[in-house]
Structure 1
Amino acid sequence: MGSNQSVSREDSMEKIANILKDPKSKVLFFVGAGISATSDGEPLIPDFRSPGTGLFYNLAKLDLPTPESVFDIDFFSENPQPFYSLCKDLHPTLVKFPPTRFHYFMKLTNDHNQLIRIFSQNIDTLERATGLDSDKIIEAHGSFAEEFCIECDEKAQKEHFEKQLLADEIPKCEHCEGILKPGIVFYGEQLPDRFHECSDTDLTDDVDLCIFAGTSLNVYPFAGLASDVSDNTLRVLINRERAGDFMYNPRKSDILLLEDCDKIVDEIAELCGWKDELDKLVDQHKKERGQHAKTAKEMVEDMKKDKKLDNEIKESNSVIGDLVEDIGKLKIKNQE
């Protein structure tokens, strides 16, 4: 059955607001890069996959095996410089991103309702920056919140890591001199155990509302959570376009709000009577940390200017060139 298109946008918003106005309501959020991509209509943090503007699209302009190599654990183990070159424009220690209206809306949901959990695909730690308790947040793909050694698995001291990062060095473990890596889930690594544990326990029949926002729902296992929502629970998609299970297995009760995430929650907050609280939180944080990130194109341009990265690429190409030359000499010798 398809989603209920006969219900007006206004009625849909009222339905969501009525659930949220009940302090006993149990709510879950499932969010992706779209909730951090803009703030009050202005660009904030670029996503990964958007054609033309996404990070992977722009990383294709660098001389790397693939754009995704920057976040591949095997490639990182051999050559961490591309990641740390990009890191200069992404790491919260170096760039103070402000949470968006959507992030603060989730904080208000926790204050007014029984927020069970936020399942986030984002690595930017902006859910934490709102003041939400970390127990309420599942960073499904890890985040910049902690750093670990890829050799001995020891957790790094924050000051030790940040001192090297700010000195424009590859951070090394103080125990074994192995390379330090933020707790981001790279390609080739498993998702955190807590993701699987909480996804098993949180999606119960008595959940009232599940809001999916700013996500393409095409990266598994995260994308599979939409189909795990109970038939007794209202599913809502706030996104630029229909996605995942909302497209392939829509339910008659689904609510689709295919617009800007901040705009939608602004309207819902108004209906809930939370608008003044939301404005106050956003304005306060703007004064403290109002900083927007560069575009993905600008980030990659910065990487091109990074002499350390340039040397790494040249050295890599030199090794490949020597290998090709050696193979050529071997062929000539065999022919003789």
Structure 2
Amino acid sequence: MKKAEVKEEIDNEKDSVDNQPGPSSTDEPKGEVDGDFEMDKIRKFLTNLKIFDTGDKLPKKQILNELTLDGIVEFIKKSGCKKIITMVGAGISTSAGIPDFRSPSSGLYHNLSKYKLPHPQAIFELEFFKENPEPFFVLAKELLPEGFKPTLSHYFVRLLWEKGLLLRHYTQNIDTLERVAGLPDDKLVEAHGTFHTGHCLKCRSLYDFTWIKNKVVEGTIPKCEKCIEGVVKPDIVFFGEMLPERFHQLSDCDFDQADLLIIMGSSLVVQPFASLVDRVKTNCPRLLINMEKVSGGDRLSRMFGIRQGFDFNPDDPEFGRDVAWIGDCDTGCQLLADKMGWGVSHLTIKFIL
């Protein structure tokens, strides 16, 4: 939604709230009732804007026979599950040896001291990049997916696609390892961008990965061959940049269709990616495969009572839908494939190849 449209919506909603019947200052003192009334209006407004959209509220019924990995396996086998969405973070690439490029503690930054950065993440800020792109491309040489191999977790996602069960794969990673593993483009949403393509910042000419890689490996700053002046920036999302339009377009329609959501290797703290966990319907099971439990959702929406994130300890377990399997992603994926009867060897062979 554009800023002008949001402003118009806010003005309209404000008029609507102002014109609602309610206690006036002459009827009774302002207090808890007015506060609840205003909170309800704010909640309704945010929901209508779909800024904090949530899955449809459906009548309560038992979804999983047990809140375990076995319960998820039974659900997949018996429910006719055909539209699984996977959401992943850096944790699925850990075993590939790819470092966390956004972490200042990463060894990647040690070679950048000579550039006297105002702070480590400055190289991922667009304005700094425009002024001095060299530090980014020094770091990019260590980040290029060339030489890294997909993990067992990547091949598990591909296996879901091969089985006809994958609706879409959403990744926070920029390493393109899903592509290397053979996942087709139409099943992939790279929420934080990718090294797969790049654009000239001046004329917007498109360049492919091979061209970008060759320039980076040579140690030269990629300059546009068409307008000559512009620097070619890989299509990864820098701090402060908008996420790709594909992310917004597909997430708006995908999550309402999902019959199972699998989240792997993500701390779910970066928005708006983290908030996607609440976009599925309330009868859609959610499986977290991670080194630790995470809350999901976002603080603001939870504050307004619009969304809750994960609930691994529901008041009534009979109606629970969230399952956490704690451990490394590769082991979790291998175990899930084995329990599905797909064969650990099938996954392992792909992984080795």
Give the TM-score category using the shorter length: 0.7 to 0.9
Amino acid at match of 2:237: V
Q: 2:87 aligns to what SS in structure 1? A: strand
- Structure 1 residues 53 and 159: CA distance shift in structure 2, 3 A: closer
Tell me which amino acid in the other structure corresponds to 1:129. V
**CA RMSD of superposed structures (Å):** 2.6
Following the alignment from structure 1 to structure 2, what is the Cα–Cα distance between the partners of residues 84 and 195?
26
Residue 74 of structure 1: aligned partner: 127
Distance in 2 of aligned mates of 1:227 and 1:58: 40
Read off the aligned partner of 1:264 and give its amino acid letter: G
Measure the CA separation in 1 of the matches of 2:104 and 2:322.
28
- AA partner of residue 271 (structure 1): K
Contact 1:19–1:25 at 8 Å: present in 2 too?
no
Question: Any unmatched runs of 5+ in structure 1?
Answer: 1-9, 285-336
1:12 corresponds in structure 2 to 68
1:207 aligns with 2:258: yes
Aligned to 1:36: 93
Q: Deviations over 1:169-211 (max 9, x none)?
A: 101001112101111011132111110011100012x522101
Of the three residues 89, 102, 122, the one matched with 2:142 is: 89
Change (3 A) 1:235 1:51: farther
Segments of 5+ residues of structure 2 without an aligned counterpart are 1-65, 303-307, 312-319
Alignment of 1:157-236 (within 5 A): 158=209, 160-177=211-228, 178-204=230-256, 206-236=257-287
Cα deviation 1:105-137 (Å, max 9, x = unaligned):
011111113211001000000111111111100
Matches within 5 A, 1:1-336: 12-21=68-77, 24-39=81-96, 44-48=97-101, 52-53=105-106, 63-92=116-145, 95-156=146-207, 158=209, 160-177=211-228, 178-204=230-256, 206-245=257-296, 249=308, 250-251=310-311, 252-274=320-342, 275-284=344-353
Alignment check: 8 A CA contact 1:147 1:183 kept: yes
Distance 1:55 1:253, change over 3 A: farther
Residue 106 to residue 75, structure 1, CA distance change in 2 (3 Å)? same
Does the Cα contact within 8 Å between 1:56 and 1:68 map onto a contact in 2? no
**Structure 1 residue 246 displacement after superposition:** 7.1
TM-score, structure 2 normalization: 0.70
Q: Give the AA of the match of 1:69.
A: A
2:144 is aligned with what amino acid? H
- The number of residue pairs the alignment matches comes to 269
Task: Specify which structure has the bigger relative contact order, considering alpha-carbon pairs within 8 angstroms and separated by 6 or more residues.
Answer: 1
Q: In structure 2, what residue type is equivalent to 1:154? A: S
Q: Distance in 1 between matches of 2:253 and 2:192?
A: 19
How has the CA–CA distance of structure 1 residues 107 and 21 changed in structure 2, closer, same or farther, with 3 Å as cutoff? Answer: farther
**Contact 2:150/2:177, CA 8 A, preserved across alignment:** yes
